[in-house]
Amino acid sequence: MASAETDQTEALFSLKSYHVSEELGFILPDPLEELPPYYQPWMDIALRIPELAQSHELRSRINKMPLLSSNFLQKHKELRLAHLALSMMTMGYVWEEGEKDTVEILPRSLAVPYWEVSQRLGLPPIITHADAVLANWKRKDPDGNLELLVSLPGGESARGFFLVTLLVELAGVPAVKNIPTVINGVRCGDTEAVARGLEIISRSIEDMTDALKLMQVHVDPSVFYGIMRIYLSGWKDNPCMPKGLVYEGVQTAPMRYSGGSAAQSSLLHCFDELLGVKHEPKSASFLIYMRDYMPPLHKKLINDISLQPSLRSFVQQQDRKDLNNVFDLCVKKLLALRSYHINVVSRFITVPAARARQLRDQNHNSDGEMISRAPTALEERGTGGSSIMSFLKTVRDQTKDTLLPEASREIKHHS
């Protein structure tokens, strides 16, 4: 009898093997603030990126940097801090002079250790959401106020952008914790557990939307568009760098990687797989490609959720009004989050892009307004490389299609 119970416990879906924290979800708990002293030359530059970029000294400082071995980085948290520091330095090096004076080669002293650390973590050698957000925070004081470890040009807006994104991740923790409750409830036919888990998930998604609303309080759209955004851009499908980037000492052929993107957050991927959101082929292929920019165990979690019995089919088979309602509530909250994200992108990208085009058409002095300094090649694109508005609207519409038939008709009738 005892062994049968043990077998059943082992069969339960759990977050334990995926590097997901009970308190912080996908966020790295208590990231290190310092690397071993041997790596001080990296940290000396990484902690001064905004000022070195502003004085146009960043590239020359990195060019003089010694080539250090990555072998003395042993622990996971050391590797994550190293990847964050090397990522920020790489973005600064490539984009210090804007889109008009990009580089073709990342110097050996940066490229080689960056490649080695990336290989050990299973992350690409470019900035990712896992670096800039999940592993880039510390507690500033006992009251729980947060601060960044490493920043990019953009002052308070850069700080606000990364920390608000972190708060969105934090708001999603109860949802992540309750994914196993829902999966195990479906497996065991426990409708009460499924309903309970979905209620918590829907509240958590609503809290994520509320956290995202802080973006307009803490980030200036003209600073984001005119200064910060280029530093999050990659060298794949980017007309500024059509060949990509050569990582000197790694391989002679250029490599292409996409920049940082909200699509690299594992949260929404987990919700999509749990709720059964079906994306059309173009959106689906971009989202699946973005999973290569996540820590491997987070990517594995998303895949493993996708292999579970269908929650949506379970809800339909039960044909219980309360269960239908709470499932649809979850989908509606996800829909509201995606709709608000479109609002944010409009405010921070579409509107400033139109203003920048207007200034160019009028031949205004390019120093007159910050947004006119923004890269023209990125006007209609996300930093991850997607044609941003059409992509987000398609994804939102496919979320709407996940509603159960009756609720779906209701929403269409009102919209």
Q: Which residues are annotated as a binding site?
A: 341
* Nearest residue to 372 (alpha-carbon basis) of 356, 353, 355: 356
Instruction: For residue 26, give the amino acid letter.
Output: F
Give dist(CA 120, CA 356) in Å, integer. 41
Question: Phi and psi for 265 in degrees, rounded to 5?
Answer: -75, 130
Show the tokens assigned to 280.
Answer: 């059309």
Task: Report the DSSP beta bridge partners of residue 255.
Answer: 245
Three-state SS at 391: helix
Secondary structure of residue 265 in the 3-state scheme:
coil
Contact 260, 92 (CB under 8 A): no
**Binding-site residue positions for heme b:** 341
The 10 Å Cβ neighbour count of residue 284 is 15
136 with 127: CB under 8 angstroms? no
Rounded to an integer, what distance in angstroms lies between the CA atom of residue 298 and that of residue 265? 9
Pairing of strands 246-247, 105-106: parallel
SS3 53: helix
CA distance 133 to 143: 20
Q: Name residue 341's amino acid.
A: H
Q: Is there a contact between 333 and 205 (Cβ–Cβ < 8 Å)?
A: yes
Is 299 strand, coil or helix?
helix
Number of other CB atoms surrounding residue 11 within 10 Å: 11
The position carrying tokens 């690299």 is: 264
